[in-house]
Amino acid sequence: MGLQRYVAKRTLQAVLVIYVVATAVFVAIRSIPGDPARLILGGDADADAIAAVRAELGLDEPIYVQYARWMSDLARGDFGSSIYTGEPVLARIAGAAEPTLSIGLVGISIAILIAIPAGIVSATRRDRWEDYVATGVAFLGISMPSFWIGIVLLLTVGTAIPAIPSYGYASISEGVIPWLSHVLLPAAAVGLPYAGIITRMTRSSMLEVLGEDYMQTARAKGLPPRLILFKHGLQNALMPVVTVAGILFALLLGGIVAVEMVFGIQGFGRLLIRSIERQDFPIVQGSVIVISIIFVFMNLFVDLLYMSINPKIKYGGGA
Amino acid sequence: MFDKSDLEGPRIDRRTATKLLAAGGLSGLAGCSGGGDSGGSGTESTSDSESSSGSSGGSISAGWNIDEIEYLDPHYIDKGQEIYLSSNIYSGLVKIGSDGAIVGDLATDWTLPDSSTYVFDLTEGATFHNGDPLDAEAVKASFERLMSLDDSPHLGKVSSIESITAEDPTTLRISLETTVGPFISFLTRGPGRAGTIVHAEEAEANPDEYNRMPVGSGAFELVDREPGEYLQLEAHDGYFGTDEEGNSLPYLDSVRIDLIPEPSTMWTAMRGGEIQYSNSIPPQNAGQAESMSSLDVVGTNPGAWFCVAPLCNDPADVEWQQYASGAGDATSKWEGEDLPTTDVRVRQAIAMAIDREALIERAFFGYAEPAHSVFNPAIAWLYDEEPDPGQYYDPETATQLLDEAGYTGEPRMSLSLLGTPSDERRMTVVQEMLSQVGIEVELNVQQESAYWDNLYRYENELVMYDGYVDIDPWMSLWKQLKTPVESGSAGAWQANLYRNPEFNSLLEEDYQTSDVETRTDLLRQAEELFLQDAAWAMTTFPLIPKASASNLTGVGNQAGLSNFHTAQLE
Amino acid sequence: MSTDYGDADTFLGVRLDRFARLRETVAGDYKATFGLTTVVLFVLAAVFAPELAPYDPMAQEYAIMQAPSLSSAHPLGTDSFGRDLLSRMMFGARISLGVSLGAVTIGAVVGVSLGVVAGYFGGWVDDALMRFVDVLWAFPWLLVAIMLVAVFGQGVWNVVAAIAFAYIDDFARLARGEVLSIREEEFVLAAKNVGLGDAQIMIEEVLPNAVAPLIVQFTVLVARAMLAESTLSFLGIGVKPTTPTWGALLGQGRSLIGQAWWISIIPGVAIVITVLGINLFGDALRDAFDVRGEGGSP
């Protein structure tokens, strides 16, 4: 099938997946015992006040009515407002997402900056000490929980360098230096495990490429080794890296939450957890939709990228 | 009853102030920092009249233990952390002075021509942050604004006002419909809430914006904020407050309030000097803070009490459990099962099995007072440090009682203890103490939403229960322990299905009495019943440690507040 | 039963000579040796914790609250309740081992079943099942964990379920991929001709030949499951407060990090070493079984 049809099919499937996930969350979060109205009013509220708040929030209606209302709002692009602060959901998410995205992006950047050169060196100097060191560090990296790395960094680098604050976040609008000083340590904590993964992947795919026929042909033709390495080798070697990096980025959420907690950063992960605990339904629902969209479309994007780089793969085949 | 002369200015002494705040049911907590000596480094809250030995100016960062500030409009504020902020941003007619007495804030003096009328003399030339005059008209407008709000939780405090007259720019007369003893305490800045003065015009023009970036008249002005991150306060140049020598306050140039909800982060920031003040550090770190010469710590009492509440009755046996707050469906799991906590001897044994001193050391790291009866130190007129009778640690008698009650196995019984994540450490310690007398306890930790759900389904034999800001026995005894009825506030918060008809009628009598002597008598009788029945196993009255860098002095901690008016850096 | 390997003997579908290769790899490569040793030690400590632990992991002794490591009675120190850290860590090993193995096993069983069925039948069955797998994949596992705890309260099973949930898609896709290439093989077509039922073919012919990469993935994911479990415990989502999983120990020590750093750091080191061991061993398995490629999972 042609590219257009493929993209259309995948997009449709993506939307379907997101819809199912959103609905599942809608139902799931309402199954959690507890009453957001009571939480808003505080434990000392009396039954009447609670009932009043529930009615105000529309929580006393049957679940299918709430669902229908939510769906029709969504169709208009209205994600609702937080039960607690009344702030529009998307605005709230955007605010909380900034620190998380900053950490994620800087983290992946650090990872790539370290890992790809390391992987290349590792492959070209296979079984020599450079390889052992790089591989060893890579393995260590993927074996450490990122929040623990954060704690260690905080204890060592954080206390040693007073210029690096031990908690909090500064938006980039306050200046690049403050922003970077707050983001650096958490990003390093998040990035290190991924650096490990990417190093190993780069290494193994470089090794494969180095052994390929066309590389030997190129060498036989007398092309300078540097050129061979970068032009032919790297391109092919990076493909799986690109694939995985894309997916990894979308999956950062799990690791980032704990790191945010260590550094006292009020990011997206914290927002999500707190909202579930407080049963702030609109925020949870909105967040899950946002996450699913990122996941699913990132996946699609990476697949397309992969296919465009490697023309050998045909659309519509197996994954 | 309060004597008219007791209530007149320029100063109401601390004892009277305490009674006023108590009778008014406020989070006034006057005199509580006095009750909060133990565990702290002994640094008392400094008085306003300390002369400025240090230099003027300077900026500090302060950590606030909350993740977002929802309300800055005092007519809607109800959380402690928000009150502490508003006390710095706004003025009131009167305020709670550094030693717990009620003294004048905007008002320099006041008199009571008769028992239901108050006449205030106001400071001349005071202004709001935006330069508008702060005179009697402005104060009147502020009250009228509150009275116009249907949904303010503080409406009740001004419902008895008959008329307000601005006789001249510096004289304000408030007439009440009837005599309301504690009325003066409602007018305190901060805890009084109703008396915190708002800029009525601005508030009415755009309430949402006012709530976000308010215009006050206090020592500090809010100039910038990032929700969930920080608030930036700057000294209000035109502030009318001065110290004893006439120097204008505040001394500091600016205060940045960082919102740090995570206790470990707060402590790391404090220890590393990134913040110079914290309005709540974790008790387990307070000890280390005490030993650090760069920090000062003081323990303050927020009028709180902690207890373990045993389920006194099977919910299936009583029809009135449905009237308790949020009446959902109670569980039927106790049907045909033995519920040990219905036996008063078991409840008493539990109360005696708790070594309060040890609990304070292990779970509060010294930052609490032992609770031997139901009245906490904020209810100063009933609180007794060593009440007799009372609940005291006595494991021998406890085991005896359990034997008598027929529980002699090993373990004697297996109970489930419900609590929230912040109770975890206390629960662990209590679990161990109860196991010493042969009671096996399983910990059931739930997030807050599920905690309440669980509680009102009465599924656990034991519940970690607490109250904050309980200033009058009406709040604890009446709402928590009286038997709930179909309508009305009695027993509306019943957590453990306690019922004693004699207890109920004593409380009903008390409700209709305003005379302090009679109330004391009735409540003592009720207390006796409470202790006999061991309705709750009281554990502690916790203290909140507040820390400051040792070069930062003069922060006012009376009544649990964090006032920066006289704070200065040395 | 005929396989495409002719007469070579197999165990669990993997050629026996591959096991020989594994032995060689482990013996020759110090990394793999280290890995195997660590894993064995970990399993021993976990299994024999009750016998080996010097103290009762729940015994609170306030007199020696927060005793530093290498004190005479407590080689790894005590925590803020005076409980011996070494004993708590040994018992914590049991739970971590159980949770990781349990979660990955459940994830594998469910995921592989889905993947094999999808790959074998193809067509709309494939599409439907894979979209279902996509839904599972898109659902943030952290959310699942929190909700499970919110509904069922704290407890080890919530952690197991949440982590298993996260790995189903991994196994499903991997199994499906394998099956897609295997199902065209001659021996499968032969089995069909002979008249064997689909279920029989899937279980007896297809699955055994797909197993090698699945075993490797299993190992890799056990390592990741340990990290995931420690993250959940650290966040306070999952096990009861008294349960001494390494992540929980780490979390409890955080507030005391200035005074008693060992409570946080030592369990952290233990996690790193154990997970490292599993990863190294998994790598050796991969080399021996001739599997390539690396998936992406939490």
Q: What is the DSSP string of A33-60?
A: SS-HHHHHH-TT--HHHHHHHHHHHTTT
Q: Of C170, C171, C122, C295, which Cα lies nearest the Cα of A317?
A: C122
How far away is chain C from the Cα of B465, in angstroms, using its nearest Cα? 18
Q: Which residues of B touch A261 (CB under 8 A)?
A: 262
How far away is chain A from the Cα of C139, in angstroms, using its nearest Cα? 6
What would the pLDDT profile of C237-246 be if each residue is shown by its tens digit? 878 877 888 9
Q: Of B257, B261, B256, B211, which Cα lies nearest the Cα of B67?
A: B261
The percentage of residues in chain B with a pLDDT greater than 70, rounded to a whole number, is 89
Check if the beta carbon of residue B115 is closer than 8 Å to that of residue B182: no
Mean pLDDT lowest among A264-268, B43-47, B55-59, B256-260: B43-47
Tokens 């094999």 label which residue?
A: C116
Q: Does A169 touch chain B (CB under 8 A)?
A: yes
Mean model confidence pLDDT for chain B: 84
Please give the angle made by the CA atoms of C289, C294 and C298, to the nearest 5 degrees.
Answer: 125
Distances in Å between the alpha carbon of C61 and those of C47, C58, C71, C184, C279? 26, 9, 15, 66, 37
* Exposed/middle/buried for residue C2 (C-beta within 10 Å: 0-12, 13-18, 19+): exposed
Check if the beta carbon of residue B431 is closer than 8 Å to that of residue B417: yes
Q: In chain B, positions 350-369, which contact chain A (CB-CB < 8 Å)?
A: none
Q: What are phi and psi of A303, to 5 degrees?
A: -60, -45
What would the pLDDT profile of B241-298 be if each residue is shown by its tens digit? 888 888 888 999 999 999 988 888 888 888 888 899 999 998 888 888 888 999 999 9
Tokens 């930062």 label which residue?
A: B552
Q: Which two tokens stand for residue B60?
A: 């500090």
Task: Name the residue in chain C with its Cα closest to that of A284.
Answer: C143
Q: In chain C, positions 101-140, which contact chain A (CB-CB < 8 Å)?
A: 131, 134-135, 137-140
Check if the beta carbon of residue B462 is closer than 8 Å to that of residue B311: yes
The pLDDT score that the predictor gives to residue A198 is 82
Peptide bond into B411 cis (omega under 30): yes
CB contact under 8 A, A47 and B269: no
Mean pLDDT lowest among B27-36, B225-234, B548-557, C250-259: B27-36
Q: Which residues of B touch C257 (CB under 8 A)?
A: 264, 268
What would the pLDDT profile of B451-473 be if each residue is shown by its tens digit? 888 888 888 999 999 887 666 77
Task: Name the residue in chain C with its Cα closest to that of A277.
Answer: C150
Mean model confidence pLDDT for chain C: 81
Helices A89-124 and A268-278 cross at an angle (nearest 10°) of 130
Q: Does B453 touch chain C (CB under 8 A)?
A: no
Interval B55-69 mean pLDDT:
86
CB contact under 8 A, C60 and B428: yes
Q: Measured between CB atoms, which of B362, B421, B431 is closest to C62?
A: B362
Distances in Å between the alpha carbon of C154 and those of A301, C92, C98, C202? 38, 16, 16, 39
CA distance B75 to B71: 9
Please report the domains of chain C, with CATH numbers, ordered by start residue: 30-50+92-289 (1.10.3720.10)
The pLDDT score that the predictor gives to residue B88 is 94
The C-alpha torsion from B161 through B166 and B172 to B176, rounded to 10°, is -20
CA distance C101 to A150: 27
How far away is chain C from the Cα of A209, in angstroms, using its nearest Cα? 14
The percentage of residues in chain C with a pLDDT greater than 90, rounded to a whole number, is 16
Work out the pLDDT band at A44, boundaries 50, 70, 90.
Answer: low
The pLDDT score that the predictor gives to residue A252 is 58
Work out the pLDDT band at A7, boundaries 50, 70, 90.
Answer: confident
- Amino acid (one-letter) located at B263: P
Q: What are phi and psi of B308, to 5 degrees?
A: -110, 120
* Residues in a beta bridge with B120: B110, B172
* Residues in a beta bridge with B107: B122
DSSP 8-class letter at B120:
E
Interval B139-147 mean pLDDT:
93
Check if the beta carbon of residue C138 is closer than 8 Å to that of residue A296: yes
Helix (H) or strand (E) holding B225: strand B220-226
The pLDDT score that the predictor gives to residue A232 is 59
Query: How far from chain centre, in Å, is Cα C71?
Result: 34
Work out the pLDDT band at B61, boundaries 50, 70, 90.
Answer: very high
Q: Which two tokens stand for residue A90?
A: 């998307």
Q: Does B449 touch chain A (CB under 8 A)?
A: yes
Tokens 């099942």 label which residue?
A: C129
Work out the pLDDT band at A236, boundaries 50, 70, 90.
Answer: low
Check if the beta carbon of residue B541 is closer than 8 Å to that of residue B360: no
**Which 3 state secondary structure label does DSSP give B296?**
strand
* Exposed/middle/buried for residue A311 (C-beta within 10 Å: 0-12, 13-18, 19+): exposed
Work out the pLDDT band at B27, boundaries 50, 70, 90.
Answer: very low
CB contact under 8 A, B284 and C80: yes
| DSSP result, A18-37 | HHHHHHHHHHHHHHSSS-HH
Query: Residue C52: is its pLDDT beyond 70?
Result: yes
Q: Measured between CB atoms, which of A247, A255, A288 is closest to C140?
A: A288
Q: Could you tell me the end-to-end alpha-carbon distance of chain C, in angstroms, rounded to an integer?
A: 38
Mean pLDDT lowest among B362-366, B478-482, C91-95, C128-132: B478-482
Q: Does B294 touch chain C (CB under 8 A)?
A: no
Q: Does C271 touch chain A (CB under 8 A)?
A: yes
Task: Name the residue in chain A with its Cα closest to that of B451.
Answer: A34
Q: Measured between CB atoms, which of A46, A165, A277 is closest to B325?
A: A46
Q: Of B210, B211, B233, which Cα lies nearest the Cα of B222?
A: B233
Q: Measured between CB atoms, which of B229, B272, B448 is closest to A39?
A: B448
CA distance B353 to C288: 61
CA distance A281 to A82: 8
What would the pLDDT profile of B63-76 be if each residue is shown by its tens digit? 998 888 888 999 88
The pLDDT score that the predictor gives to residue B231 is 94
How far away is chain C from the Cα of B369, in angstroms, using its nearest Cα? 19
Mean pLDDT lowest among A97-101, B300-304, C17-21, C242-246: C17-21
Q: What are phi and psi of B122, to 5 degrees?
A: -100, 155
Tokens 């952690």 label which residue?
A: C159
Q: Of B504, B502, B507, B493, which Cα lies nearest the Cα of B463?
A: B493
Strand order across the B161-168 sheet = B107-111, B117-122, B171-176, B161-168
Q: Does B471 touch chain A (CB under 8 A)?
A: no
CA distance B538 to B530: 11
Q: Measured between CB atoms, which of B78, B228, B274 is closest to A266?
A: B228
**C93 vs A198, more confident:** C93
Query: Residue B7: is its pLDDT beyond 90?
Result: no
Work out the pLDDT band at B53, boundaries 50, 70, 90.
Answer: very low
The C-alpha torsion from B55 through B61 and B64 to B68, rounded to 10°, is 130
Interval A103-117 mean pLDDT:
87
What would the pLDDT profile of A188-213 be if each residue is shown by its tens digit? 998 888 888 888 888 877 777 777 76
- pTM value is 0.81
Which chains touch A (3+ CB pairs under 8 A)?
A: B, C
